[in-house]
C-alpha cells in the first residue's frame, strides 16, 4: 500500500534522533548513582560483620608442668636403716602405682612424679605396715620425714595340754629310737624338758623294751658268751645249760627293768630315762653321764639321787639268789655284786648314749612348742 503522508524533511529527522541520544546521555549518571547506592546498601552488612568478627586464631598449647620427686628414709625404732623395704607410691585416686626398695641406708626415691596428692605404703616383714601421704607441687623435691617401723604384733597360740598327753606323744617318739635302726634305744630322751611319765607310761615303756624281738636276740647272745666261757658252771653245758643261762640273763634284765624302771620310779616319783646333754665341754659331759648312774631327774623336774636304780639293782640281786646255781649264791655278796655291776653298766651305757649312740640312733623329730614338758 502506498503511504500518502507528507514526507518529513531530512533535517527534521536528524534533529529528532539527536534529541533521543541527548536524553539517553543525560540519564546515565543518575542510573549509575542509583546502582552504586543499591550495591552500597546491600554490601554494608557483610563488611560490617567482617569488621566485627576478627579472623580466628589457633589455640596456644598449655604449658607443660615439670615433674616432681619424692625422697625419704625408712628406719626402725632405734634409728637403724631398714634395708629392702618395699615402698609403694600411688597418686590420688589413680590406680597406677610405682614401687621401689630401700637401699643400704634405708633411703628411697621416686622421680617423674605427677604434681598433686600422693600416698606411700611401706611393707617390710617382720615390721608392721606403715603409710604416709602428702601433696607435691610441680617441680618440687619433696622430702618425707623419716618413716619409723615397729615390729608387728605376733599372736602366739599356746595349746595347753595335760602332762600325760604330752608325755604320751613323746613316748611314742622314743619307742621308734633304734641304734643302727635295729637295737632298741627307748630309755633315752633328746628333749631337755621332756614331760614326766606316769606309772602307766613307765610300765608301758618297760614292757615295750622287754618284749622287743631284738631284746631276746641280745639276751641269747649274752647267754651264749656265758656258756662259751663256762660262766656259772653249775648250769652245765649243752642245750640245758644254755637254756638256764638264757633264763637267768633274761630274769636279770626283766627284774632289773621292773624294779629299777617301773616299781621304784613310780613310788619315788623319779624318771627312769637318760636325758641327753649334748652341750658343754667333753669333761662336763663325761662327768654328767657317769653321775647319771646314781642321780636322776625327778617327776618334779629337779635332779636328785637315783634311789630307784640303786634299789632296783638291790632287789634284782636279791632275787637272783633264787635262780643262780647254789655255788654262786652267796647271799649279800651276790646282791651287792649284782648291784655294783648294774651301776657300772648304767654308767657305761650313759657314756655311750652321750657320745656314740646319738650318731648311730634314729632320733625323734623336735617337738612343737606345745609339746613342752610344762602344761
Q: Are residues 123 and 190 in the same domain?
A: no
Q: How far apart are CA 235 and CA 251, in angstroms?
A: 15
pLDDT of 237 over the 70 cut = yes
pTM for this model (two decimals): 0.54
Q: Are residues 138 and 236 in the same domain?
A: no
Q: Are residues 213 and 267 in the same domain?
A: yes
Half-sphere exposure in the Cβ direction for 241 (13 Å, CA) = 15
Helices (H), the chain: 10-52, 163-174, 199-210, 213-228, 238-258, 264-268, 282-291, 307-320, 332-355, 357-360
Paired with 130 in beta bridges are: 122
Q: Are residues 274 and 126 in the same domain?
A: no
Which pLDDT belongs to residue 30? 53
Q: How far apart are CA 159 and CA 374, in angstroms?
A: 11
Q: Are residues 100 and 142 in the same domain?
A: yes
Average pLDDT over residues 170-187: 92
Task: Choose the final residue of a domain: 122, 149, 176.
Answer: 149
* Residue 155 CB contacts under 8 Å (≥ 6 apart), including other chains: none
**Percent of the chain predicted with pLDDT > 70:** 76
Q: Are residues 287 and 351 in the same domain?
A: yes
Q: What is the CATH number of the domain that holds 119?
A: 2.60.40.10
Q: How far apart are CA 274 and CA 290, in angstroms?
A: 11
Q: Are residues 337 and 216 in the same domain?
A: yes
pLDDT confidence of 94, banded at 50, 70, 90? confident
Which pLDDT belongs to residue 85? 93
| 183-222 confidence digits (pLDDT tens) | 999 999 999 899 999 999 999 999 999 999 999 999 999 9
Does residue 284 lie in a domain region? yes
Does residue 21 lie in a domain region? no
* Higher pLDDT, residue 272 or 48: 272
Which pLDDT belongs to residue 242? 95
CA distances to 23, 36, 43, 71, 342 from 48, rounded to whole Å, are 38, 18, 9, 62, 133
The DSSP symbol for 261 reads I
Q: Are residues 193 and 140 in the same domain?
A: no
Does residue 216 lie in a domain region? yes
Q: Are residues 359 and 231 in the same domain?
A: yes
**Total domains in the fold of the chain:** 2
Paired with 116 in beta bridges are: 136
Domain around 107: 68-149
Amino acid at each position: 500500500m502506498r503511504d500518502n503522508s507528507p514526507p518529513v524533511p531530512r533535517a527534521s529527522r536528524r534533529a529528532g534522533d539527536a534529541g533521543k541520544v541527548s536524553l539517553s546521555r543525560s540519564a546515565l549518571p543518575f542510573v549509575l548513582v542509583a546502582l552504586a547506592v543499591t550495591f552500597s546498601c546491600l554490601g554494608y552488612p557483610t563488611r560490617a560483620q567482617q569488621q566485627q568478627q576478627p579472623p580466628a586464631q589457633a589455640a596456644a598449647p598449655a604449658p607443660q608442668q615439670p615433674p616432681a620427686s619424692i625422697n625419704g628414709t625408712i628406719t626402725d625404732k632405734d634409728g637403724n636403716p631398714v634395708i629392702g623395704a618395699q615402698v609403694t607410691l600411688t597418686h590420688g585416686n589413680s590406680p597406677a602405682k610405682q614401687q621401689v626398695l630401700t637401699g643400704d641406708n634405708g633411703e628411697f626415691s621416686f622421680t617423674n612424679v605427677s604434681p598433686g596428692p600422693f600416698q606411700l605404703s611401706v611393707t617390710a616383714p617382720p615390721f608392721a605396715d606403715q603409710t604416709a601421704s602428702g601433696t607435691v607441687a610441680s617441680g618440687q623435691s619433696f622430702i618425707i620425714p623419716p618413716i619409723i617401723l615397729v615390729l608387728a604384733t605376733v599372736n602366739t597360740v599356746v595349746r595347753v595340754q595335760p602332762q600325760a598327753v604330752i608325755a604320751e606323744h613323746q613316748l611314742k617318739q622314743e619307742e621308734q629310737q633304734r641304734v643302727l635302726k635295729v637295737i632298741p634305744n627307748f630309755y633315752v630322751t633328746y628333749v631337755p624338758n621332756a614331760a614326766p611319765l606316769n606309772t602307766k607310761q613307765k610300765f608301758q615303756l618297760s614292757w615295750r623294751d622287754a618284749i622287743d624281738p631284738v631284746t631276746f636276740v641280745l639276751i641269747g647272745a649274752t647267754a651264749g658268751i656265758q656258756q662259751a666261757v663256762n660262766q656259772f658252771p653249775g648250769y652245765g653245758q649243752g642245750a640245758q645249760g644254755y637254756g638256764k643261762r638264757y633264763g637267768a640273763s633274761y630274769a636279770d634284765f626283766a627284774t632289773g627293768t621292773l624294779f629299777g624302771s617301773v616299781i621304784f620310779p613310780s613310788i619315788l616319783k623319779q624318771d627312769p630315762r637318760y636325758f641327753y646333754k649334748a652341750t658343754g665341754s667333753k669333761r662336763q659331759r663325761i662327768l654328767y653321764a657317769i653321775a647319771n648312774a646314781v642321780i636322776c631327774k625327778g617327776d618334779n623336774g629337779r635332779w636328785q639321787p637315783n634311789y630307784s636304780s640303786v634299789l632296783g639293782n638291790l632287789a634284782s640281786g636279791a632275787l637272783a639268789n633264787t635262780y643262780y646255781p647254789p655255788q654262786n649264791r652267796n647271799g649279800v655278796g651276790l646282791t651287792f655284786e649284782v648291784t655294783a655291776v648294774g651301776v657300772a653298766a648304767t654308767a657305761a651305757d650313759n657314756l655311750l648314749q652321750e657320745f656314740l649312740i646319738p650318731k648311730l640312733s634314729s632320733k625323734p623329730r623336735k617337738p612343737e612348742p606345745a609339746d613342752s614338758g610344762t602344761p
